Amino acid sequence: MSPLSINDFPEHFTWGVATSAFQIEGAADADGKGPSIWDDFCRVPGVIADASDGRQACEHYQRWADDLDLVADLGVDAYRFSISWPRVQPLGSGAFNEAGFAFYERLVDGMLARGLKPFLTLNHWDLPSALQARGGWENRDTVQCFVDYACEVARRLGDRVTSICTHNEPWVIAVLGHESGIFAPGIKSRAAAIQVAHHLFLSHGLALSAMRAQGCKADMGIVLNLAPINAATDAEADQAAARRADGGGLRWYVEPLLKGEYPADVLQELGADAPRILPGDMASIQVPLDFLGVNYYMRSVVSAGEPWDLKTSGNEITDMGWEVYPQGLTELLLRLHRDYTLPPIFITENGAAFPDEVINQQVHDSQRQRYIARHIAATLEAMRQGVRVDGYFVWSLLDNFEWSSGYAKRFGIVRVDYDTQARSLKDSALWYRNFLTSKRKPGN
């Protein structure tokens, strides 16, 4: 394989790093911010591995200017961040919080001043608690609340941001939040999860239409976590299990958005758990996307019987217990390209947690560096085979609050010392910067 070079990517390709509000901001009740379902969830005993919470996190709310300097210093084009809904609208409906909006105005203006393109996400999971008290995403009324919130954000920031993503990973909100219950709000019901997914799709479509009707010109789309789903063996039972998993995990999320329909086989299997769909919903969901964000971490291997044993793959495993499988990203992109009419794709998250070794302030995270390089190469391979990919974002800029894993799992290319809040570039960040700055200047 020839060495990876940024010059193999088209000139317009966007390179970035990503974070989300709850995972880095801290300042959980500063300046009028309301509580979110993640603030509440962290108080439930036993649900966060290290019993931590997001109250302080990376203190990004205070340290945002230094953090943006770091982003700019990496040489990336863009920064993907999210807005904490309860920071700008404490109850999720009604009054907006000026101090909250002032923070994001400073942040967005700070990006522009540093030549960074703002990629904004409206919902990276921290729903206002007041809405959860009324049923949260299970309640259809939350759809209109989200549309109102989206329109207000677009009105204030829409002329300054490059792109607006409605939801980050509806599958996680639906399934981990409402079926397995290991994420906020911790509900355990398949019917709830299915209804939640429907309301997320609906609110996405309605928000896009409403923001566009208001004249917002930012690129608009959604971010899905997707994986190729491989059967553990050729046996018919394993193949059938993989088809079912693909139906529930990929087609259920892609097809309403791109085809305006749910996959019939999955609907049938859901039986009484099928969503309540009102006339017009599917047309509202299927609005044209300016982009589809894909978050990729690993493939999924499915078997009918015993759970598949990761160790038998022989591949490296990250600190999350996730298999390193870069060719899965190529497979996934080719499959999406083959089966659907796609808008431009952005890899909106890709990265890995590894237990970092710190020697004399230096973090030699060669596994993370290799992980990122191999997945950039896998993206390029799909592009060579005809898939249009317009950008790639590393998850994550900083070590941060990794949801139910707390602070123990580190995804940052920048290390955070949680005692002092000092940031230091890991080797992976130095590598990324070196990769990005080796770009041939036009005309050379």
State the residues that interact with ligand FCB by CB under 6 A. Answer: 20, 23, 168-169, 172, 225, 295, 349, 395, 402-403, 411
3-state secondary structure of 217: coil
Quick check: helix, strand or coil at residue 138?
Answer: helix
Distance of closest approach, residue 409 Cβ to ligand FCB, in angstroms: 8
Q: Residue 53 or 349: which CB sits closer to ligand FCB? A: 349
Q: Which is nearer to ligand FCB, 70 or 353 (CB)?
A: 353
Question: Which sign, positive or negative, has the C-alpha torsion 425, 431, 433, 434?
Answer: positive
Closest distance between ligand FCB and the C-beta of residue 395, in Å?
Answer: 5
Cα–Cα dist 223/393, whole Å: 12
φ, ψ of residue 378 to 5 degrees: the values are -65, -35
What is the distance of C-alpha 343 from the center of its chain? 18
Least separation, in Å, of the C-beta of 292 and ligand FCB? 15
Q: Which is nearer to ligand FCB, 83 or 282 (CB)?
A: 83
Q: In terms of CB distance, is 103 or 125 closer to ligand FCB?
A: 125
Q: How far is the CB of 365 from ligand FCB (least distance, A)?
A: 15
Q: How far apart are CA 374 and CA 385, in angstroms?
A: 17
Residue tagged active-site, from 138, 169, 179, 323: 169
Beta carbons within 10 angstroms of residue 335's beta carbon: 17
Nearer to ligand FCB, 195 or 295 (CB): 295
| Cis check: omega of the bond before 185, within 30 degrees of 0 | yes
Residue 100 CA: distances (Å) to CA of 28, 96, 114, 124, 142:
11, 8, 22, 16, 21
Q: Is 169 a catalytic residue?
A: yes
User: Catalytic one among 25, 138, 179, 349?
Assistant: 349
Question: % helix / strand / coil in the chain, to the nearest 5?
Answer: 45, 15, 40
In the complex, what is the shortest distance from the CB of residue 157 to ligand FCB, in angstroms, rounded to a whole number?
Answer: 21
Return the bridge partners of 121, or none.
82, 165
Residue corresponding to tokens 């591949």: 315
CA–CA separation, 196 and 194 (whole Å):
5
Q: Amino acid identity of 420? A: T
Catalytic residue ranges: 169, 349
